[in-house]
Amino acid sequence: DIQMTQSPSSLSAFVGDRVTITCRASQGISNYLAWYQQKPGKGPKLLIYAASTLQSGVPSRFSGSASGTDFTLTISSLQPEDVATYYCQKYNSAPPLTFGGGTKVEIK
Amino acid sequence: EVQLLESGGGLVQPGGSLRLSCAASGFTFSSSAMTWVRQAPRKGLEWVSAISSGGSTYYADSVKGRFTISRDNSKNTLYLQLNSLRADDTAVYYCAKGRGKYYDLPLDYWGQGTLVTVSS
């Protein structure tokens, strides 16, 4: 099975800071990578798919990029409402459609 | 507005069974793949099972042979039958809608989840 390794597991930043989260696939997955945001007590929300395509309605401060098997989620200017846990997920064919371990984002 | 409402969770003894339901509205259910994802207490997300719009089913190794996913397009409802439950099946179970008819697509809408607790 393909493993998805996310880093860091948690981070703390100031409002307005640029925040970067990384997800590494153990094998090539082309651009079949999605990012989700989960707030406490809620179901996850799709932010980005195809590594860099913003889901409709998601603020433009969120962006995604890919380089080989490394994927990055960037929040260009952290806002208080961005406090959440973020997950990557690979969705190329062949189950399981594995999630990364998650990154908890907090405000300093 | 897309809505997914899970139900059927609860407390069950090890070895027991439970059936989860997910009532869908606000989209063409029969044209969408659907997925179950679970989250153990204070843990990350785990993909459990998916069903394509055509009825093909897929399972994580951890649940294969014990869980069964199904759908009733006439009722716009997704199901997950959980058998031979173990303590490590304890989790919030989410249903999620795929962005198309195949199972290997991003999940663009999620429900609020239903809690399954396996304990004696």
Residue B1 has pLDDT above 90, yes or no: yes
In chain B, residues 51-80 whose CB comes closer than 8 Å to chain A = 58-61
Residue A93 has pLDDT above 80, yes or no: no
Do A42 and A30 meet the contact criterion of CB atoms below 8 Å apart?
Answer: no
| pLDDT number for residue B9 | 97
Do B39 and B115 meet the contact criterion of CB atoms below 8 Å apart?
Answer: no
Residue A95 has pLDDT above 90, yes or no: no
Closest CA to B67 of A96, A68, A50, A41: A96
Q: Does A99 touch chain B (CB under 8 A)?
A: yes
Alpha-carbon distance values, A100 to A15, A56, B99 (Å): 25, 23, 20
Give the chain A residue whose CA is nearest to the CA of B38: A43
| pLDDT number for residue B37 | 98
Rounded mean pLDDT of B13-41? Answer: 97
pLDDT 10s digits, A32-87 = 999 999 999 999 999 999 999 999 999 999 999 999 999 999 999 999 999 999 99
| pLDDT number for residue B34 | 98
Closest CA to A83 of A23, A13, A5: A13
| pLDDT number for residue B82 | 98
Strand pairing class (A10-13; A103-107): parallel
